Structure 1
């Protein structure tokens, strides 16, 4: 039967496989393909789809990284306004080290305050009433135009703020939502022809009514101390115009600012930005590394009398579209340690009433929000949570430009499938349901006000026989640097 002409169609296929095998026998770049000229391709194929295999076939509800299926699901459910309950009991192991919980009250109370916080001290003339949950920093360029527009319109619906990221303010940011304009080391949107900070350009943009606050970015948790690169291929005419750079050229964001090089000059620059903006709230964002440097910043605040309106603390677990593995995994202080250290330091310097703390880093659920509030934060950002509300599937392809959900991409064939009319509502839904969950948890725990949320009510399993409160873990042990500073202050007094 093999002499039948019906089998001739196999001949080109067989010859093609033979030629491919011969090629691999003579090539020197890939050992696997040299040793297994045809079967070796299966290895590369399965490696290319391994994230999808893990996510859809192998992961349990609690296994996924950076976010588990359970975390992603609660965002999807809230965004789609569908059932958010779970059945049959907890999946977490309450005896496992690291398990966390908050103590409830048998006498629940009604929350007596809306979940908002006023940002702006007595040096500020345009105070801003912010939600305790806002959209974290994500630039246009890293995200698509439809994603940015959806986030901003969702912020408008829900009455919360949208951080622009350091890529400047695009027309997609100006869909009615309140903006927190982030200024990075590249000064995109307020830079001159040489890449230096331009006061006139900054003043013009900051004057826009929808720009409610200014955030000076010193570092971010996912890659602290590391600059960025905008490849020439992504630097389109539109993006170049937004960032005030030459189109179709590679643009670098340096690791450090060119406008200052020490804590005193940095604080003076914050004061300069406040003046140029018409006295809107101005603060800075950083990932804590060297604790002594933050103490020096607080000393500079005391010395100059220029008090920032807020400080954004980004944990090492924060996300980014692209970063070196070593920076993502091994540099920077985790969020809880950082927030506790910053709030203790501000208290030591008598700044806790004047400077609000905004926490950022892997915040998804109401419990996540309440934990950072217990440690001293006044509000928080969620970036990846908001991306999930847009439909992000955690494909881990943000740095490839081929995001299948149309979020982290500039490919029109992908982002045009993300419909703003639908996604803006999902963003607002996620925010609304999460705030409702925060209020319900506060009531169950007997917290009438945001200020009632205290660290002694939150607990973590240290080992099978030891449990400690957040107060014991983060506040009862006095940091040596703070102890030394406190001792010097007492001696001077």
Structure 2
């Protein structure tokens, strides 16, 4: 192939020369095509990185072009409504439609195979409730006995996504949507920026292992900096991040190209360096010290709700946390359970695919553990992970959730096309990038409306769904309400799959 390319190049140049000699100047236009091919081939012959291109000059480049186009061709021309990943077209479409306020009903029946193993549903009641008679905006009050400033949270909120991972326009749009729609915006571990404050949306300030926004130069916790931000009126709750579903046991990752001087100043790190958060907190080394850290943050924030987020790993470790709550008398006001199936965060493949307990299993376990140690009554549970529809919320309430977070759903409402470029700083929709020429394409005011609309329409769909089952309150949704096909001829309820633990059973 290399000899053929060299022969082609020589013959092409000779042909052009002869033709020009015969006074036919128009043939020179062919050089626009021929010369770039020849130059590309020469480069391919002398580069040492790609064997395929050395052996097959010019033609070898086509392989890499196809690799780049493959995900796009698959998404737009090959995948069906239900087999795309991480989020299939059916769910992406429903998010887009609800965010735009477009018609979101479906004709001609379900596209899902209802007889396949894993299919889940809820049964309706012949005494279904008129959703117009139900509370259209359900909320949950977060704050245990030691909380002085409890917060009434929406049942559907924006999950943790940092400024740095997301662009300034994305943060502005999300917070503006939260303000307009009356729900909360989790800051992620990247601290609080001016973009989180501009529209006055309620914030859940997340404190990660890097202590961004409240750290000393060595990365240790700085109480004075924490208090300064914790007392902001926008900050309604504080969440300590132990681990996240995308990469539990790993710590956060901010690529160097996303770490601009502005982001570095907000986080308290060096710009244009890769920032890896430690896998664990330095402020506590055991579960009892963790309880004292929770109390420290509660005191510094003048009694605002303090909680922690985790992807469930070793069950015995969470049991130890429950025992530490009993021994110290200190309890968090809320716990967020994240799913090991991952989320928006960039992560090594092994961590996304093969570490951490999936959301529904983790949520059921945490609820049951708190119930068994008679702690559940004082602690609210938030569930985070691929929540896009009212039914997704309903089944998490059945497993014990008091409220839900969504990250990918909110990104889709901003116009995310699932290009899978979040980690590369090349997000074409201006959401997960720090490149100004891409960011400026994201219209903040338009996306504020879309975020608020997606929230309101999803909560509305949940309320309608709940009413169809004959239930009038999120607290009355139980595990027996949700069914799963476990084999071709066998159906079980969540109550059978996740047997309920009695209050105080483990005390």
TM above 0.5, one fold?
Answer: yes
Equivalent in the alignment of 1:14? 34
Given that 1:318 and 1:360 are in contact with CA atoms closer than 8 Å, whether structure 2 keeps it comes out as no
1:278 shift after superposition: 0.6
Cα distance per residue 1:274-325 (max 9 Å; x no partner): 1111100000000001111000010111110001000000001231331100
- Render the CA deviation track for 1:439-477: whole Å, top value 9, x for unaligned: 11111110111111111011111111111111111126x
Map of 2:113 onto structure 1 = 93
Residue 325 of structure 2 corresponds to: 301
Name the counterpart of 1:84.
104
Alpha-carbon distance, 1:271 to partner: 1.1
Separation (CA, whole Å) in 2 of partners of 1:231 and 1:407: 15
Query: Partner of 1:168 in structure 2?
Result: 191
Deviations 1:332-375 (A, max 9, x none): 00011000000000000001110111000111110000110000
Match of 1:131 among 154, 169, 172: 154
What displacement does 1:54 show? Answer: 1.0
Matched, 1:333 2:353: no
SS in 2 for 1:377: coil
Match of 2:93 in 1: 73
Partner of 2:71: 51
Q: Give the Cα–Cα distance (whole angstroms) in 2 for the partners of residues 188 and 466 of structure 1.
A: 50
Secondary structure of the structure 2 residue equivalent to 1:49:
helix
Aligned to 1:34: 54
The residue aligned with 1:312 is 336
Give CA-to-partner distance per residue, 1:170-204, whole Å, 9 cap, x none.
01101210000000001000011221100111011
How many residues get paired?
Answer: 483
Secondary structure in 1 matching 2:189: coil
**In 1: Cα distance, 2:445 partner to 2:46 partner:** 55
Q: Identify unmatched segments of 5+ residues in structure 2.
A: 1-14
Question: What does residue 377 of structure 1 align with?
Answer: 401
1:118 aligns with 2:118: no
Deviations for 1:88-133, whole angstroms, at most 9, x for unmatched residues?
Answer: 1111001001111001001112454441100001110100000000
Instruction: Determine the C-alpha separation between the residues in 2 that align with 1:250 and 1:31.
Output: 31
- Rounded to whole Å, the distance in 2 between the matches of 1:126 and 1:355 is 15
Matched, 1:239 2:263: yes
2:171 aligns with 148
Name the CA distance, whole Å, in 1 between partners of 2:92 and 2:255. Answer: 31
Query: Deviation of residue 51 (structure 1)?
Result: 1.6
Q: What does residue range 376-395 of structure 1 map to in structure 2 within 5 Å?
A: 376-395=400-419
Shift of residue 18, structure 1, vs aligned partner:
3.7
CA distance in structure 2 between the aligned counterparts of 1:105 and 1:383, rounded to whole angstroms: 32
**Mapped partners of 1:35, 1:256: distance in 2:** 48
1:199-210 equivalences under 5 Å are: 199-210=223-234
Aligned to 1:255: 279
* Contact 2:257/2:425, CA 8 A, preserved across alignment: no
How far apart are residue 40 of structure 1 and its match? Answer: 1.6
Q: Of the candidates 287, 297, 301, which is equivalent to residue 277 of structure 1? A: 301
Moved more, 54-63 or 109-118: 109-118
Between the aligned partners of 1:139 and 1:18, the Cα distance in structure 2 is 46
CA 12–156 in structure 1, closer or farther in 2 if over 3 Å, else same: closer
CA distance in 2 between partners of 1:161 and 1:275 (Å)? 22
In 2 relative to 1, CA 420–25 (structure 1 residues): closer, same or farther, beyond 3 Å? closer
Q: Could you tell me how far apart the structure 2 residues matched to 1:326 and 1:366 are?
A: 31
Deviations 1:230-286 (A, max 9, x none): 344433232122112344444331111110111111111111111111100000000
The residue number in structure 1 matching 2:124 is: 104
Residues 455 and 469 of structure 1 are in contact (CA less than 8 Å); yes or no, is this contact kept in structure 2?
Answer: yes
Q: Does residue 60 of structure 1 match 2:80?
A: yes
Distance 1:342 1:227 in 2: 22
State which drifts further: 194-203 or 28-37: 28-37
Q: Are positions 1:179 and 2:203 aligned together? A: yes
Bigger mean CA offset, 72-81 vs 101-110: 101-110
User: How has the CA–CA distance of structure 1 residues 238 and 16 changed in structure 2, closer, same or farther, with 3 Å as cutoff?
Assistant: closer
Residue 50 of structure 1: how far off its partner (Å): 1.6
Q: Distance in 1 between matches of 2:218 and 2:171?
A: 28
**Residue 245 of structure 2 is aligned to residue 221 of structure 1:** yes
> Quick check: 2:165–2:254 contact (8 Å CA) kept in 1?
no
| Residue in 2 that maps onto 1:454 | 478
Larger Rg: 2
Cα 1:229–1:66 shift into 2, 3 Å: closer
With over 3 angstroms needed to count, the CA separation of the structure-2 counterparts of 1:20 and 1:238, relative to structure 1, is closer
